[in-house]
Structure formats: structure tokens, C-alpha cells
Amino acid sequence: MWNWRPSLGAGGERRAADFLKRQGYRIVARNWRHQLGEVDVIARDGTELVFVEVRTRSGATMGTPEDSVADDKQRRLARLAEAYVVQSGYEGDWRIDVVAIDHNGIRHLKNAVSLW
């Protein structure tokens, strides 16, 4: 049986990266991995570093893609972002965004994760 989830997710990440580029973002990394997990897209929005969680849904039965970024996922994203900042030696402003993709199109939620 064919597993659609990885291809759906990878396709969503490609669409999100293309969308961000069209908005003037510069892609720094895709699928950055760390022992804590993975960041889908890391980009620059002017001088600000942006960590992007991409959520893709093929239907509406499971709710909206943005609804799937629950508290535990938000905490993991914040820890991953902090790990990247420390590892790279980045000194500047950064934020965590969510790009939601479903049958209604693409929605970009800026500063979607705020834990402080």
C-alpha cells in the first residue's frame, strides 16, 4: 500500500518554500535536523530569522492544518529554534511562523508560536 503522508508533507514543504520566496523571504535551510526534531524551513525575512512549521492537510476531517500545532508541538518548535540559534551563533531577532496548506489554499501565520 502506498504511503501518501511523506509525499503530502514534502509537497507542502516545497509549496511553502516557493510561497515564502515569492513573499521576499530568503530560504536558509530546509528540513534542518537536530536530536530534538526537525524544522521544516528556516528563512530570512529582512534581518529576522524565521523558523517555519509547515502543516499540510488533504481534507477537512481532521480540522485545519494550523489547529494541529498543539502546545507540545509549539514547545518543541521553540526548543528547536533555540538550538539552531545557539548552534549557529545567530545573534538577532527571530520568530516562529506556521504555513498552513489545505484545500482552501495557503495561509501564513506570522509569529504563530509565542512562549514568552
Half-sphere exposure of 29 (CA within 13 A, CB side): 14
| CA separation for the pair 68, 46 (Å, rounded) | 28
pTM (two decimals): 0.86
Residue 67 pLDDT > 90:
no
Which residue do the cell numbers 508541538 mark?
73
Report the first-to-last Cα separation within the chain, whole angstroms: 44
CATH of the domain spanning 4-109, picked from 3.40.50.300, 3.10.20.30, 3.40.50.150, 3.40.1350.10: 3.40.1350.10
Q: What residue ranges do the domains of the chain occupy?
A: 4-109
Residue 112 pLDDT > 50:
yes
Residue 23 pLDDT > 90:
yes
User: How far, CA to CA in Å, does 55 sit from each of 1, 12, 20, 93, 112?
Assistant: 23, 7, 14, 24, 13
Q: With cut-offs at 50, 70 and 90, classify the pLDDT of residue 38.
A: very high
pLDDT of 57: 77
Greater pLDDT, 108 or 3: 108
